[in-house]
Amino acid sequence: MELKGKRIIVTGGAGFLGSHVVEELEKKGPSEIVIPRSKSWDLRNEETCRKLLHQVKPDLVIHLAAVVGGIGANRANPGKFFYDNMSMGLHIIEECRKAEVEKLVVTGTICSYPCLTPVPFREEELWNGYPEPTNAPYGIAKKALLVQCQSYRAQYGMNAVLLLPVNLYGPRDNFNLETSHVIPGLIRKYVEARDCGADKMVAWGTGAATREFLHVRDCAKGIVASAEKYDEAEPINLGSGQEISIRDLTMLIKKMTGFKGRIEWDATKPDGQPRRCLDTSRALKFFSWKAEIKFEDGLRETIEWYEEHKNEIK
- Residues marked as catalytic: 138
The C-alpha atoms of residue 32 and residue 140 are separated, in whole angstroms, by 33
DSSP lists the bridge partners of residue 214 as 168
State the burial class of residue 87 (Cβ atoms within 10 Å of its Cβ: 0-12, 13-18, 19+): middle
DSSP lists the bridge partners of residue 167 as 213
Angle between helices 78-98 and 136-156 (to 10 degrees): 10
Task: Find the helix or strand (DSSP H, E) in which 266 lies.
Answer: strand 262-266
- 181, 111 contact by CB (below 8 A): no
Residue 161 Cα distances to 60, 110, 236, 260, angstroms:
12, 15, 9, 46
- 110, 163 contact by CB (below 8 A): no
Residue 254 Cα distances to 181, 206, 211, 258, angstroms:
16, 16, 17, 6
The C-alpha atoms of residue 141 and residue 138 are separated, in whole angstroms, by 5
